[in-house]
A and B are shown apart, each in its own frame.
Chain A
Amino acid sequence: MKKIIFMSMAISAGIFGLSPYAVAEHVQSLRGELTLEEDSVAPTLKQYQKDEAPMQRDYLQQPPLIPHKIAEYRITIKHNKCLSCHSWTNYKARGATKISQTHFENRDGAVMSNVSALRYFCTQCHVPQVKAPPLVENEFEPVDSMRH
């Protein structure tokens, strides 16, 4: 019995010792060092680029970036607005880039007749761009073969 009490005390001490309450003073919140009464300054909203030519990739496996606005383009299981231009059926008529052949493979590597559920939700990998300075310094350089 004594052992159990000791153990539970030790465990609870461990839990509380590691809990965020114990280290709260050292944590910097996402709002910065502002007190509760102060309002944080909202950054200006960036505009997505309206309509541009396809962007070059920086590395081989990079999912191509979306060079246009995608506001209100919905992706639901009933309809995918992106595919209404980028699917193999539609890309020619719409003058769009067609989706990669890899998008038809399911997780077992079997090739499906239509876009695989793995690849259906375009914006998980493909993103539109805003013209903005990088938030952190970045020295990434494409390999020679990808330089343009």
Chain B
Amino acid sequence: MSKKKISLSVLIIGFIIGIVFWGAFNWTLELTNTEEFCISCHEMRDNVYVEYQDTIHYANRTGVRATCPDCHVPKEWVYKIQRKIQASNELYHKALGTINTREKFEAKRLELARHEWDRMKANDSRECRNCHNYDDMDYPSQGRRAVDNHVKGFANGETCIDCHKGVAHELPDMIEDDSSAVLLKH
């Protein structure tokens, strides 16, 4: 075989192996992007998943459902990989058992919620806007309160998460965010 032929066959084999490996990598990655995967750990299944089942993102009149990764994992590849790398820290804490009881989870709820709020605030609620786009909102078909607050909020440069906290899960103790809307122990 000539040198040319060898290098060509190496190239073709490398190409095929590349496809296989990339496919396997992507397939595994997408497997971890399912609700089924998320609730395969009791930390998610017994806490946040139960709360989510009571909300409009789980059951609603049109039957369109947003599952865990729709809100918690970015759709674009670069951001997705970035988030997936961060998630390795979650595996570490799974092994440590950081939130393996309801009590431990409740104690951490504010901190964990803040991570998500901060992430959404920083990326202008990108994952919300995969489905809910400001520019496509039809104000006449919204309620009086929704129109008022959307117009005002967008004008002030606010993003979805500024108002819509706790739409899919129970809220943590909000005393630091708004002490006028919690039950103070006198």
13 CB < 8 A contacts A-B: A53-B144, A68-B143, A69-B143, A71-B56, A72-B54, A74-B166, A77-B183, A80-B181, A80-B183, A83-B180, A114-B179, A114-B184, A115-B184
Query: Which listed residue, B55, B178, B179, B183, touches A120 by the CB 8 Å rule?
Result: B183
A72 to B38, CA, bound (A): 24
Which residues of A sit under 8 angstroms from B170, Cβ to Cβ? 74, 76, 78
Q: Which residues of A contact B (CB under 8 A)?
A: 50-53, 68-69, 71-72, 74, 76-84, 87-90, 94-95, 106, 112-115, 117, 120
Which of the segments B18-26, B83-91, B93-101, B145-153 contacts the partner chain? B145-153
Quick check: B174 and A113 within 8 Å, CB to CB?
no
Q: Contact size class for B?
A: 20 to 34
* B181 pairs with A68, CB closer than 8 A: no
A90 and B181 contacting across the interface, CB-CB below 8 Å: yes
Distance in Å from the Cβ of B58 to the closest Cβ of chain A?
A: 11
Let me know if B69 is at the binding interface, CB within 8 A: no
Enumerate B137-186 residues with CB–CB distance to A below 8 Å. Answer: 143-146, 148-149, 166-167, 170-175, 178-184, 186
- Using a CB–CB distance below 8 Å, which chain B residues touch chain A? 54-56, 143-146, 148-149, 166-167, 170-175, 178-184, 186
The 8 closest A-B pairs by CB, nearest first: A51-B143, A83-B181, A87-B180, A89-B180, A79-B174, A78-B173, A79-B171, A77-B183
**CA–CA, A83 to B181, complex, Å?**
5
Which residues of A sit under 8 angstroms from B56, Cβ to Cβ?
A: 71-72
Asked if A113 contacts B184 (CB within 8 A), the reply is: yes
Report Cα–Cα, A81/B166, bound state, in Å. Answer: 10
